[in-house]
Structure 1
Amino acid sequence: MHDVIIIGGSYAGMAVALQLVRARRQVLVIDAGRRRNRFADASHGFLGQDGADPAEIARTAREQLSAYPTLDWIEGTAAGASGMRDAFHVTTTDGARHEGRRLLFATGVSDALPSIHGLAERWGRSVFHCPYCHGYELDRGQIGVIATGPMSVHQAQMVAEWGETTLFTNASVAPDATERADLAARGVAVEETTIARLDGVAGVVLADGRRLDFAGLFTLPANAPATPVATTLGCELAETAFGTQIRTDGAKETSVPGAFACGDVARMPHSVSLAVADGAFAGMAIHRSLVF
């Protein structure tokens, strides 16, 4: 019986684990090894780690955690969760069963990308979702925003802070007159011809044959929990402007007492630094639930 089982061993999950093992609690981390930012070469906006290889950040964190004797780590995939506060059970795809008094979901989210030829191959390299993470490196160059829905207008308004911007509506959004006036005031061009494919580093080839080249592109994928394991326990989901996430209260507890969630799967917006902060807070909240 572990004090806490953490499903997901990326930045948020490890931040939770660090608080708990430092409180000398028995912690089990089950990690499938698929970091959301595994396609990116550098992580930005994380104090003290700006520009670092995200894989190296994760490796260092794992190495530091391994020094604590109350940590157990399984490289595997959680298949299901059941039980209740003080008596949770987690099964993995290899058939193993693990018990814990508390449960923490830090599974991260999946990104449903626009169905545009060439986009997936550039995701995290020249096509991004967060200007705070990648905008500065575009060096005030030309930026394209590929619309996926109404929030893409807001994204174009924001991204214009980092460079001259073009919003590709791509049959996904129709800005109204007020929005068009605001976009124009920010210097954002609106291109309504649909996109045929992406080419080169960040080139956009339109259906009419025109090609526009950019320093980088942004888009808003639809998000959902990376695995359905939380819903197998009965955790409620919350709708957001960007998809769904696990619903939590102010202490990061889900609708199932004793089960918690943090990181990208339980908060907006998303970044490494925010995931780590959310995990540290969740770790303290879980410990308090064990004490009191």
Structure 2
Amino acid sequence: MINEKQTDVIIIGGSYAGLAAAMALGRALKNVMIIDSGLPCNRQTPYSHNFLTQDGQTPANISAIARQQVAQYPTVQFLNDLATDAVQTGTGFNIRVASGDSFQAHKLIFATGIRDILPDINGLSDCWGISVLHCPFCHGYEVREAKTGVLGDGDYGLEFSRLIRNWTTDLTLFTNGSATLTPEQYALLQQQHIPVVEKRIRELVQENGYIRHIVFEDGTTAPLTALYTHAPFEQHCPLPEKLGCACTTEGYLITDHTQQTTIPGVFACGDNTTRLRTIANAVSMGTAAGIAVTKSIKN
């Protein structure tokens, strides 16, 4: 039961960036409330990599340890709920949650991540984060030299295929329909022995999130172990936009070097602000935001 209606900082989003911010604030003796609905975007991902001391751990395990450590600071409290509204007041911000309660804070930190808008291909969403991947630096080593595909076209299809070629020689570019590649781009792919398949995809046949093969609309199939794609996204939480926070043309929240958004007193960190979508980077940005918010609070 949360009794405090007024706090120094409300952090919306209790995954890696939010927990890192809370730890910095808790160690600075600031009163903090973390509001989190418990649905991180990487909840399907079986393992995390490129995070020193935690390489190969499950994201859920990393998050659980982090939450346990943050909870040791008595000025940090947790609320399992969904933030549904945010209003700027004369002294800070009012946050309303789905259960109907509302809370006041002098500063806000949004560590709310993004929501991927996945291609409308049967089976793909079941494989997202498991065998349909967004980042070779996070997952490429585990599927090195496996039968791999890139789902894309044009400049992205070319450049990402050439990047993935570092991890496997068994690579195919799937354009999911007629390609827009130029003759020069075709030639560059051919030089690296990357075939292009322009058939439309009907389905990914998978087992527990692991791809077995692609089924094309013409009924033919192709075996596959891993598929990379770059999905468009939207902000997971609409509240920063409601408060007036500006975004880049790509859709990321704009922040300065202190992680403050274009609205004074509102900070953001993690995947909602950057292309660099790793746990290590989220923790780094969260810590920076926590320190900056501490400095901005006038005692």
Q: Same fold (TM over 0.5)?
A: yes
Measure, in 1, the Cα distance between the counterparts of 2:131 and 2:280.
21
Match of 2:263 among 237, 256, 268: 256
Measure, in 2, the Cα distance between the counterparts of 1:134 and 1:266.
22
Cα offset, 1:171, TM superposition: 3.1
Measure, in 2, the Cα distance between the counterparts of 1:238 and 1:262.
14
Measure, in 2, the Cα distance between the counterparts of 1:153 and 1:84.
49
Matched, 1:182 2:182: no
2:179–2:198: 8 Å Cα contact kept in structure 1? Answer: no
Residues 209-248 of structure 1 aligned to structure 2 (within 5 Å): 209-240=219-250, 244-248=251-255
Match of 2:19 among 14, 27, 33: 14
Cα offset, 1:250, TM superposition: 1.9
Amino acid at match of 1:141: A
Matched, 1:205 2:211: no
- Find runs of 4+ consecutive structure 1 residues off by over 4 angstroms: none
Measure, in 1, the Cα distance between the counterparts of 2:146 and 2:93.
51
2:178–2:198: 8 Å Cα contact kept in structure 1? Answer: no
Residues 15-54 of structure 1 aligned to structure 2 (within 5 Å): 15-54=20-59
Amino acid at match of 1:271: T
CA displacement 1:239-273 (0-9 Å, x = unmatched): 22xxx121112221111111011100011121111
- Report the counterpart of residue 134 of structure 2 in structure 1: 129
- Report the counterpart of residue 140 of structure 1 in structure 2: 145
Measure, in 2, the Cα distance between the counterparts of 1:33 and 1:149.
37
Cα offset, 1:15, TM superposition: 0.7
CA displacement 1:31-61 (0-9 Å, x = unmatched): 0101111001111111110100111111111
Change (3 A) 1:264 1:225: same
Alignment gaps of 5+ in structure 1: none
CA-based RMSD: 1.7
Identical aligned residues as a percent: 37
1:17–1:283: 8 Å Cα contact kept in structure 2? Answer: yes
Task: Give the SS at the match of 2:271.
Answer: helix
- Report the counterpart of residue 75 of structure 1 in structure 2: 80
Matched, 1:196 2:202: yes
1:150–1:173: 8 Å Cα contact kept in structure 2? Answer: no
CA displacement 1:84-128 (0-9 Å, x = unmatched): 584111111111111111101111110110000111111111111
Match of 1:288 among 277, 282, 295: 295
Amino acid at match of 2:113: G
User: What is the number of equivalent residue pairs in this alignment?
Assistant: 289
Measure, in 2, the Cα distance between the counterparts of 1:85 and 1:63.
34
Measure, in 2, the Cα distance between the counterparts of 1:112 and 1:33.
20
Change (3 A) 1:78 1:167: same
- Report the counterpart of residue 151 of structure 1 in structure 2: 156
1:86–1:102: 8 Å Cα contact kept in structure 2? Answer: no
Using structure 1 for the length normalisation, give the TM-score.
0.94
1:205–1:212: 8 Å Cα contact kept in structure 2? Answer: yes
Task: Give the SS at the match of 2:160.
Answer: helix
Measure, in 2, the Cα distance between the counterparts of 1:110 and 1:44.
21
Using structure 2 for the length normalisation, give the TM-score.
0.92
1:113–1:222: 8 Å Cα contact kept in structure 2? Answer: yes
Change (3 A) 1:186 1:285: farther
Match of 2:101 among 92, 96, 103: 96
Match of 1:270 among 262, 274, 277: 277
